[in-house]
Structure 1
Amino acid sequence: MKSIKHFFWFCSGANRSLLNRCPTEASKFTGIGAAVFFTGVLAALSGGYAFYTVFENPWWSAAFALLWGAIIFNLDRFIVATMRKKKGKKWLEFVQASPRILLAVLLAIVITKPLELRIFSKEIDRKLVILEEQIYQKEIAEIDRRYVALQSEINSQMEGFKSEIATKAAQRDRLYEEARKEADGTGGSMQRNAGPIYQLKKADADKAQTELEELSARYVPLIAAKQANLDSLAQARQTEINAIKRNPWNGLAAQLEALKVLTAENRGIAIANYFIIALFIMLECAPILVKLIAPRGPYDNLLEIREHFYKNHNLEQISAMDHSTYEKLKYFTH
């Protein structure tokens, strides 16, 4: 039990020899050290999950998780160990601690994200399926966009050719119908015979038939060629669609995007997400806040005396060296 307490003292960045002289401060620094240590543990778990998502290798993930946890632990220990309790002016301590608090908030956000992905993994997996399908449809739409203009142009040309043929066929049918009515007396001169008027109308109808045949002979091959072009474009489009690789879209960036969409769509998940971030920010800032809120104690007094002693001792050494150098220069110059 004693070794655990000493380990937490080390985590808090406290001087063990000074703490042994201040038994009333032991609990405070044990708590601070425990907060720093468990924040590092959470960072290791969070980093391990993030690295496993990227590398999908448990050994590499474990190695990077330990490294990441050690980095966060060292940063937190440095932040707590470098804070000093000053006499009076409590607001000045908060001002001096504000950069450390900002760093702690950033570290908390970095630590939280992989854990959020793990907590909401089931919801994220379902959303990833939807987002993957949306990406696939978007790629298809992009391919279609490139082919639609070409297909529309060819269809427009084909419709123009067919329209001319249909117009000419309708004109021929109308002329033949007029000639027939002239012949049977149901129209035109209303006299049943194949006289001159009928012959003129029949000639006009025959001429329209000839023009229709010439038009068909010219346009039908063009329509067939255009249809072949359409079939070729359709085949090329389908080939491009088949070539789209539907790789699993489940990487770290994809999961973050899915979580972003979920928080925007689902208010419950958004609120839970905010509370998780707030919880980790509080955990990360807890050692700093404890040191800020806690009153100045015996340990802080002893630490100030120790640091003041070393500072004065350093000044004395520098002064003695300066004096010695001055005496030497004085001796050699006279």
Structure 2
Amino acid sequence: MKKFTSFFWFCSGASHSLLKRCPTEAARFVSVGGAVFFTGLLAAVSGGFALYSVFNNYWVATLFGLLWGLMIFNLDRFLVSSLKKSENKWQEWLMASPRILLAVLIAIVVAKPLELRIFQPEIEAELVLIKEEQKTAEGAMIASRYSPLIAGYKAELSQLEAQIASKEIIRDDLAKLAQEEADGTGGSGRRNLGPIYAVKKANAERAETELKELKASHSDLISTLREKQDSVVLLQANEMAKIDVSHIGGLALQLEALARLANKYSSIAFANIFIMLLFVMIEASPLLVKLMSPRGPYDDLLEAHEHAFVNYRKSKVHRLDAGLEKELAWKG
């Protein structure tokens, strides 16, 4: 039991020799030291989980968690030990306000990784949506690069095919006129193969020749354009297939997912606030315990000890100054 008491005294930053002279203060500083210790322990767990989310390695997460916990423990121990009790409560709180603000900032940093752990199922579901959005956005960027090329090839092909189609319509119309003249259903209205039919037949044959020449001249160009279009479509499909969002899910994106969830669901937003307040209270508890506790014998002894040290230092400086003055006077 004495070992635990000594350990928590150490955590509180109190002087063992002074505490042994005022045993009634032992329980108060055990409480303060316990708050400091468990705050550091909680910080170690939080830091370890945060780094595990990044590197997915137990050894690295454990090492970093221990270092982070020790750092927070040492900082809290300094904050508590540097807070001196005085007769004026308002002055005490005023002097403690920067320390409390720092404790709040530490609590926010410590709480966030544990919030991610608490809401992990919801965050993973939100990450799926974020990944799909990312995949869609990357697909849109790829399409924006290739769509103008594909559209350009389609426009050229449509123009060439429209020219051929227009020529086919003219050819068909002329052939129909020649046929109607031959069977008497149109033109002169007489069934014969006379000169009028010969003219119309020649016009139809000339249109057929022009159509063949047009198809022959456009054939290679159409084939080339279709090959280019197919090539661009294939490149686009290959880039689309290479989109990989499986690696998405780091700490920053988890924080983004948690923020989105808080915006979507008021219950998660309120839970975030209360979790944050809980950690703020835990982190500030050592300072609050010391601030709310009355001034005791330990504080009187500590003040007397520090005052004696200040007087001793002043006396030593005074003796040194006096000795220096005598030495200068003797040399002069």
Shorter chain as normaliser: what TM range? over 0.9
In structure 1, how many angstroms separate the alpha carbons of the residues matched to 2:118 and 2:309?
A: 50
What are the superposed Cα offsets for residues 63-114 of structure 1, whole Å, 9 maximum, x if unpaired?
22111111000000111111122322x3333332222122111111111122
Map 1:56-71 to 2 at 5 A.
Answer: 56-71=56-71
The residue that corresponds to 1:218 in the other structure is: 217
User: CA RMSD of the aligned region, Å?
Assistant: 1.9
The residue identity in structure 2 corresponding to 1:12 is: S
The residue that corresponds to 1:189 in the other structure is: 188
Give the structure-1-normalised TM-score.
Answer: 0.92
In structure 2, how many angstroms separate the alpha carbons of the residues matched to 1:101 and 1:150?
A: 62
The answer to whether residue 209 in structure 2 is matched with residue 229 in structure 1 is no
The residue that corresponds to 1:178 in the other structure is: 177
The residue that corresponds to 1:305 in the other structure is: 304
1:136 deviates by 2.8
SS in 2 for 1:249: coil
1:298 deviates by 2.6
The residue that corresponds to 1:72 in the other structure is: 72
In structure 2, how many angstroms separate the alpha carbons of the residues matched to 1:220 and 1:101?
A: 82
In structure 2, how many angstroms separate the alpha carbons of the residues matched to 1:324 and 1:331?
A: 11
In structure 2, how many angstroms separate the alpha carbons of the residues matched to 1:246 and 1:71?
A: 36
In structure 1, how many angstroms separate the alpha carbons of the residues matched to 2:197 and 2:273?
A: 92
The residue that corresponds to 1:249 in the other structure is: 248
1:29 deviates by 1.9
What are the superposed Cα offsets for residues 280-314 of structure 1, whole Å, 9 maximum, x if unpaired?
01110111222233333332222222111111111
1:191 deviates by 2.8
Structure 2: runs of 5+ lacking an equivalent: none
In structure 2, how many angstroms separate the alpha carbons of the residues matched to 1:225 and 1:156?
A: 14
Percent sequence identity over matched residues? 49
In structure 2, how many angstroms separate the alpha carbons of the residues matched to 1:195 and 1:94?
A: 121
Map 1:1-334 to 2 at 5 A.
Answer: 1-88=1-88, 90-333=89-332
What are the superposed Cα offsets for residues 161-211 of structure 1, whole Å, 9 maximum, x if unpaired?
011111111111112222222232222332332333333322222222222
1:326 deviates by 0.3
CA contact (8 A) 2:157 2:225 kept: yes
CA contact (8 A) 2:134 2:245 kept: no
CA contact (8 A) 2:123 2:258 kept: yes
The residue identity in structure 2 corresponding to 1:180 is: Q
In structure 1, how many angstroms separate the alpha carbons of the residues matched to 2:283 and 2:196?
A: 106
The residue identity in structure 1 corresponding to 2:206 is: K
The residue identity in structure 1 corresponding to 2:283 is: E
SS in 2 for 1:188: coil
Number of aligned positions between the proteins: 332
1:245 deviates by 4.2
1:50 deviates by 1.8
CA contact (8 A) 2:48 2:62 kept: yes
In structure 2, how many angstroms separate the alpha carbons of the residues matched to 1:96 and 1:112?
A: 25
The residue identity in structure 2 corresponding to 1:318 is: V
The residue identity in structure 1 corresponding to 2:41 is: V
In structure 1, how many angstroms separate the alpha carbons of the residues matched to 2:291 and 2:204?
A: 106
In structure 1, how many angstroms separate the alpha carbons of the residues matched to 2:224 and 2:277?
A: 68
CA contact (8 A) 2:47 2:68 kept: yes
In structure 2, how many angstroms separate the alpha carbons of the residues matched to 1:282 and 1:276?
A: 10
What are the superposed Cα offsets for residues 33-79 of structure 1, whole Å, 9 maximum, x if unpaired?
11111000001111111222233332232222111111000000111
In structure 1, how many angstroms separate the alpha carbons of the residues matched to 2:159 and 2:60?
A: 66
1:325 deviates by 0.5
Structure 1: runs of 5+ lacking an equivalent: none
Give the structure-2-normalised TM-score.
Answer: 0.93
Moved more, 98-107 or 308-317: 98-107
SS in 2 for 1:133: helix
The residue identity in structure 2 corresponding to 1:258 is: A
In structure 1, how many angstroms separate the alpha carbons of the residues matched to 2:263 and 2:273?
A: 12
In structure 1, how many angstroms separate the alpha carbons of the residues matched to 2:245 and 2:119?
A: 24
The residue identity in structure 2 corresponding to 1:240 is: E
Distance 1:93 1:197, change over 3 A: farther
The residue identity in structure 1 corresponding to 2:323 is: S
1:244 deviates by 3.7
What are the superposed Cα offsets for residues 8-35 of structure 1, whole Å, 9 maximum, x if unpaired?
1211111222223333333222211111
CA contact (8 A) 2:44 2:66 kept: yes
1:246 deviates by 4.7
Moved more, 210-219 or 189-198: 189-198
SS in 2 for 1:193: coil
The residue identity in structure 2 corresponding to 1:51 is: L
The residue identity in structure 2 corresponding to 1:150 is: L
